[in-house]
Chain A
């Protein structure tokens, strides 16, 4: 079936280290991918996006990598800070689905001081 899923439900990382969150998707027609951060009791917050015609995109302290061959998406957070503690979701969309977002299961990132 069509789905977007994550490999790791919880990631503990030392403050200052880099974090890598992984996501797998199954639909090769997906053409737009987004990473969201959700803090407890709040709505998702946009982090970074990438289109299917790209394989890498960088933002401030974050990098998204897209490997279409294996249908894999990752989010790298450099120099992880306590404020990065949250649940991270990947999401995919495609024009054929009316640009509706399909969310992955989420990974909780815990930053240890």
Chain B
């Protein structure tokens, strides 16, 4: 099956620092990946759509200069939380879609728990 990994699985950082989260599709190529944020006891909220070789598409209310997305290859997308603040503490989850099959199903990574002190 399609496997998506994320690294790191958890990270603790100081306020004002930047944190990079990686999302990799391990056994397939993904031209499109998605980044979600999930606060405790809440649902997943789409932050942005990451497109290989082009700029990411951000959802309304998501600051593109704060959440930098780079989709440098068909198997890797990165999310960088810049100048992190405690309110950015959340569970960040990526997903990838298999485009060649005309498939709508998204395969999710295990998530990254970010805690900003």
Q: Is the CB of B43 within 8 A of A43?
A: no
Q: Is the CB of B43 within 8 A of A105?
A: yes
User: What is the chain A residue whose CB lies nearest that of B113?
Assistant: A41
The stretch of B11-19, B70-78, B79-87, B102-110 that contacts the partner chain: B102-110
When A89-B43, A100-B49 are in contact, do A42 and B111 touch as well, CB less than 8 Å?
A: yes
CA distance in complex: A22, B108 (Å): 22
- Chain B interface helix/strand/loop/mixed: strand
CA distance in complex: A43, B113 (Å): 11
CA distance in complex: A46, B110 (Å): 13
The verdict on A8 contacting chain B, using a C-beta distance below 8 Å, is no
| Chain A residues whose C-beta falls within 8 Å of the C-beta of B106 in the assembled complex | 101
Q: How many of chain B's residues touch chain A, expressed as a range?
A: 20 to 34
CA distance in complex: A101, B111 (Å): 17
Q: Is the CB of A99 within 8 A of B97?
A: yes
B106 to chain A, nearest CB (A): 6
When A34-B105, A41-B113 are in contact, do A103 and B43 touch as well, CB less than 8 Å?
A: yes
The verdict on B34 contacting chain A, using a C-beta distance below 8 Å, is yes
CB within 8 Å of B: which of A1-46?
A: 32, 34, 36, 41-46
| Chain A residues whose C-beta falls within 8 Å of the C-beta of B91 in the assembled complex | 41
Chain B residues within 8 Å of A, Cβ to Cβ: 4, 6, 34, 42-46, 49, 57, 91, 93, 95, 97, 104-111, 113
A-B contact pairs, 10 of them (CB 8 A): A36-B108, A41-B91, A43-B95, A43-B110, A98-B57, A100-B49, A101-B34, A101-B106, A102-B46, A103-B45
5 closest Cβ contacts across the A-B interface? A43-B108, A103-B43, A103-B44, A43-B111, A44-B108
Chain A residues within 8 Å of B, Cβ to Cβ: 32, 34, 36, 41-46, 49, 89, 93, 98-106
* Beyond A98-B49, A102-B46, 13 additional pairs, beta carbon < 8 A: A34-B104, A34-B105, A41-B113, A42-B111, A43-B95, A44-B44, A44-B93, A89-B43, A99-B104, A103-B45, A104-B43, A105-B42, A106-B43
